[in-house]
Amino acid sequence: GENVEQHPSTLSVQEGDSAVIKCTYSDSASNYFPWYKQELGKRPQLIIDIRSNVGEKKDQRIAVTLNKTAKHFSLHITETQPEDSAVYFCAASGYSTLTFGKGTMLLVSP
Protein backbone atom coordinates (compact mmCIF):
# COMPACT_ATOMS: atom_id res chain seq x y z
CA GLY A 1 0.00 0.00 0.00
CA GLU A 2 0.87 3.67 -0.06
CA ASN A 3 3.33 5.05 2.51
CA VAL A 4 3.61 8.80 3.12
CA GLU A 5 6.53 10.28 5.04
CA GLN A 6 6.30 13.87 6.28
CA HIS A 7 9.05 16.16 7.58
CA PRO A 8 9.67 17.95 9.83
CA SER A 9 7.46 16.84 12.68
CA THR A 10 7.74 20.29 14.28
CA LEU A 11 8.58 23.62 12.67
CA SER A 12 9.01 26.91 14.53
CA VAL A 13 9.26 30.19 12.60
CA GLN A 14 9.01 33.89 13.28
CA GLU A 15 6.05 35.82 11.96
CA GLY A 16 6.75 36.90 8.40
CA ASP A 17 9.15 34.06 7.66
CA SER A 18 8.45 31.29 5.16
CA ALA A 19 7.68 27.71 6.13
CA VAL A 20 8.24 24.59 4.04
CA ILE A 21 6.88 21.12 4.79
CA LYS A 22 7.97 18.15 2.71
CA CYS A 23 6.36 14.80 1.99
CA THR A 24 7.41 11.73 0.07
CA TYR A 25 5.19 8.91 -1.13
CA SER A 26 5.84 5.36 -2.28
CA ASP A 27 3.08 4.48 -4.77
CA SER A 28 3.90 5.79 -8.24
CA ALA A 29 0.21 5.40 -9.15
CA SER A 30 -0.79 8.14 -6.70
CA ASN A 31 -2.18 11.14 -8.54
CA TYR A 32 -3.88 13.34 -5.95
CA PHE A 33 -2.12 15.18 -3.14
CA PRO A 34 -4.18 17.28 -0.70
CA TRP A 35 -2.93 19.26 2.28
CA TYR A 36 -5.04 19.64 5.41
CA LYS A 37 -4.71 22.08 8.29
CA GLN A 38 -5.89 20.98 11.74
CA GLU A 39 -6.08 23.48 14.57
CA LEU A 40 -6.03 22.15 18.12
CA GLY A 41 -9.24 20.28 18.88
CA LYS A 42 -10.76 21.05 15.49
CA ARG A 43 -11.49 19.16 12.31
CA PRO A 44 -8.95 18.83 9.47
CA GLN A 45 -9.67 21.36 6.72
CA LEU A 46 -8.42 21.22 3.14
CA ILE A 47 -6.18 24.18 2.36
CA ILE A 48 -4.81 23.24 -1.06
CA ASP A 49 -4.47 20.22 -3.31
CA ILE A 50 -2.60 19.26 -6.44
CA ARG A 51 -3.08 16.64 -9.09
CA SER A 52 -0.33 14.80 -10.92
CA ASN A 53 -0.79 16.65 -14.19
CA VAL A 54 0.27 19.88 -12.46
CA GLY A 55 3.72 20.72 -11.07
CA GLU A 56 2.83 23.72 -8.92
CA LYS A 57 -0.26 25.40 -7.58
CA LYS A 58 -0.61 28.67 -5.66
CA ASP A 59 -3.35 30.19 -3.55
CA GLN A 60 -2.39 33.53 -2.03
CA ARG A 61 0.33 32.78 0.57
CA ILE A 62 0.18 29.02 0.09
CA ALA A 63 1.78 27.00 -2.68
CA VAL A 64 2.31 23.31 -3.32
CA THR A 65 4.91 21.76 -5.62
CA LEU A 66 4.97 18.22 -6.93
CA ASN A 67 7.87 16.21 -8.31
CA LYS A 68 6.43 12.94 -9.62
CA THR A 69 9.81 11.60 -10.72
CA ALA A 70 11.20 11.90 -7.21
CA LYS A 71 7.82 11.12 -5.61
CA HIS A 72 7.79 14.10 -3.33
CA PHE A 73 5.63 17.16 -2.82
CA SER A 74 5.97 20.21 -0.62
CA LEU A 75 3.83 22.88 1.02
CA HIS A 76 5.17 26.43 1.07
CA ILE A 77 3.68 29.14 3.26
CA THR A 78 5.01 32.66 2.81
CA GLU A 79 4.67 35.62 5.15
CA THR A 80 3.56 33.38 8.00
CA GLN A 81 1.12 34.73 10.58
CA PRO A 82 0.32 33.51 14.11
CA GLU A 83 -3.01 32.16 12.85
CA ASP A 84 -1.08 29.78 10.60
CA SER A 85 -0.07 27.87 13.75
CA ALA A 86 -1.61 24.40 13.47
CA VAL A 87 -0.82 20.83 12.49
CA TYR A 88 -0.51 20.32 8.73
CA PHE A 89 -1.07 16.92 7.11
CA CYS A 90 -0.12 15.87 3.62
CA ALA A 91 -1.87 12.97 1.93
CA ALA A 92 -1.65 10.95 -1.25
CA SER A 93 -4.08 8.77 -3.15
CA GLY A 94 -4.29 6.96 -6.41
CA TYR A 95 -6.47 3.93 -6.94
CA SER A 96 -6.60 3.07 -3.25
CA THR A 97 -7.30 4.94 -0.05
CA LEU A 98 -6.16 8.43 0.87
CA THR A 99 -3.05 7.94 3.02
CA PHE A 100 -1.98 10.70 5.40
CA GLY A 101 1.42 11.66 6.72
CA LYS A 102 1.99 11.93 10.46
CA GLY A 103 1.67 15.69 10.48
CA THR A 104 3.83 18.77 11.05
CA MET A 105 3.16 21.09 13.98
CA LEU A 106 3.84 24.63 12.75
CA LEU A 107 4.39 27.25 15.42
CA VAL A 108 4.50 30.89 14.30
CA SER A 109 5.81 33.27 16.93
CA PRO A 110 4.79 36.96 16.83
Partner 1 sequence: EAGVAQSPRYKIIEKRQSVAFWCNPISGHATLYWYQQILGQGPKLLIQFQNNGVVDDSQLPKDRFSAERLKGVDSTLKIQPAKLEDSAVYLCASSWGGTLTDTQYFGPGTRLTVL
From CA 42, how far away is CA 59, in angstroms rounded?
22
Q: Give the one residue of 31, 65, 78, 85 binding partner 1; rule: CB under 8 A.
A: 31
- Establish if 47 lies at the interface with partner 1 (CB under 8 A): no
- Footprint of partner 1 on 66-105 (CB under 8 A): 89, 91, 93-103
Instruction: State how far the Cα of 7 lies from the Cα of 24, in Å rounded to an integer.
Output: 9
Among 32, 58, 81, 82, binds partner 1 (CB under 8 A): 32
Binding of partner 1 by 46 (CB under 8 A): yes
Stretch that binds partner 1, among 12-20, 44-52, 59-67, 73-81 (CB under 8 A): 44-52
Annotate 10-45 with DSSP letters as a single string: EEEEETT--EEEEEEES-TT--EEEEEEE-TTS--E
